[in-house]
Amino acid sequence: MAKTKIAYFCQSCGFESPKWLGKCPSCQQWNTFVEEIIEKGNASNAVPTWKVTSNTQQRANKPVQVADITFNEEDRVLTPDKEFNRVLGGGIVAGSLVLIGGEPGIGKSTLMLQLALNMPKLKVLYVSGEESERQIKMRAERLAPDGGNAKNQILNSKSEIEHPKSEIGGSCYVLCETSTQNIFKQIEALEPDLVVIDSIQTLHSSHIESTPGSVSQVRECTAEMLRFAKETSTPVFLIGHITKDGAIAGPKILEHMVDTVLQFEGDRHHVYRILRTIKNRFGSASELGIYEMMGEGLREVSNPSEILLSHRDEPLSGITISATLEGMRPMLIETQALVSASAYGTPQRTATGFDTKRMSMLLAVLEKRCGFRLAAKDVFLNITGGIRVEDPAIDLGLAAAIISSHEDMPIPFKTCFAGEIGLSGEIRAVNRVEQRIAEAQKLGFNQIFISKYNLPSGGQDKKRMDLSRYDIDIKIVSSIEEVFGQLFG
């Protein structure tokens, strides 16, 4: 009978200790150690339980030069969802391990099941450890636009192996299982092109004696999925839970092991969802995808600027439009500000979707450089649409909204802003300003304020920006006083 041992793991970073500690020496967090029972020797002797096909490339056991490495460049697998392709960097990479995290009920399972149903050319295995087959079938009938179509039919993997279908080019198979050994047995028999795990916290491996969802189980199950994905070149999607702090549950090493980390965000009381790239080894880590939650599933939003801008019949003070970038996508967002007299001794400073410290910096610049008395005022900022923006190019739009609310003077209709504000009050240049101008022109704006430092000087060799090809009126400004002089006289 194998001996067992007890170890203590940090729930934050996965640090292992033979005894309980109050403070983790690795991540410096308090009261994060939990007790787990581990079977001695099994974890280190774990072997792959899946079948490696003959055409799988074996890894070299000796070091080789980069120039001597040969590979066949394969195209990415494009999904019908353009927003999903965008956040992945252009499609699904063979052998990649993707982790998707988000709050409960935000739509992670809906997104992945909808993706599995709409890929008829691939054999997709959807492994669920949280729902039964009937529950998944009910959700699939709601998501599929033509629920009776054989292309979107869901079958159990065991019955499908016994009675294979020859008329369907691609199918979605459902397997309700939590043991990784049983999952790999079904994968060996089915040989799917794509595997979806819902969720990684429900899986358990026989090599670890601890309970499912523990630090050691999550780490071991992810390691097994990683070995399977790399050795068979099969992409695997993992759905992960998050903690009350908003971080993905499990050790931090979980995010380091996978190739791509996606965060599914949004308010459950609103219809819009945001799929944000946190980490991506095969593309940009700053891409953004926007979806609309509807009764029949998630609908991709191809033009997010239209949903982030409200339609008003009359101009209102404290509202401006700013041009921002999320990855390679230009967007126009509505920035709102409310400045009022403070009813208490200490004025309030609240920002939704924007960094509060940067808001304090903008208020200090407006008071020091422009002479606006805002020290005794309550200031509230809001980025509409429920998104969070870190682009410094919205500084100018926020400053204009603050002064517009302070003076109770509305900004002219169809006016856009794209500029970063420095501590001395200068308007600094922003990157890819031409894309921002083109987006504002496409949505019918009349004028846009940009920094004069975005225009290359005549002595430089780089090509000078041609402003004549734009129909929009481009206002060239150098300081924040100049902006307010043109807006409010």
Q: Please say whether the beta carbons of 264 and 84 come within 8 A.
A: no
DSSP strand pairing (4-10 vs 16-17): antiparallel
The first and second tokens of residue 5, run together, are 């041992």
* Residue (of 381, 374, 372) closest to 480 by Cα position: 372
> How far is residue 133's CA from residue 140's CA, in Å, rounded to a whole number?
10
* Non-local CB neighbours of 96 within 8 Å, separated by 6+ positions: 229, 235, 236, 259, 260, 281, 282
Asked if 221 and 180 count as a contact pair (C-beta separation under 8 A), the reply is yes
DSSP 8-state secondary structure symbol assigned to residue 411:
P
Write the DSSP string, 10-76: ETTT--EESS--SB-TTT--BS-EEEEEEETTTTTT----SPPPTTSPPPPSS---GGG--------
Distance CA 191, CA 237 (A): 16
From the number of C-beta atoms within 10 Å of its C-beta (0-12, 13-18, 19+), residue 379 rates as buried
- Tell whether residue 106 is among the known ligand binding residues: yes
Q: Please state the length of the chain.
A: 489
CB of 157 within 8 A of CB of 116? Answer: no
Exposure class string for 266-278: b at 16+ Cβ within 10 A, else e: beeeeebbbbbbe
Number of alpha carbons in the 13 Å side-chain half-sphere of residue 203: 30
Please indicate if the annotation marks 104 as binding a ligand: yes
108 is in an annotated binding site: yes
The answer to whether the peptide bond before residue 451 is cis (omega within 30 degrees of 0) is no
Nearest to 129, CA basis, from 48, 75, 183, 50: 183
Tokens of 85: 């392709």
387 belongs to an annotated ligand binding site = no
Q: For tokens 């203590």, what's the residue?
A: 8
* 5 labeled part of a ligand binding site: no
For residues 83 and 60, what is the distance between their CA atoms, to the nearest angstrom?
37
| C-alpha torsion angle, residues 109, 114, 115, 117 (rounded to 10) | 120
Residue 326 annotated as binding site: no
By the 8 A CB rule, do 255 and 279 touch? yes
Q: Phi and psi (nearest 5°) for 108?
A: -65, -50
What residue numbers does the annotated binding site for ATP cover?
102-109
What residue numbers does the annotated binding site cover?
102-109
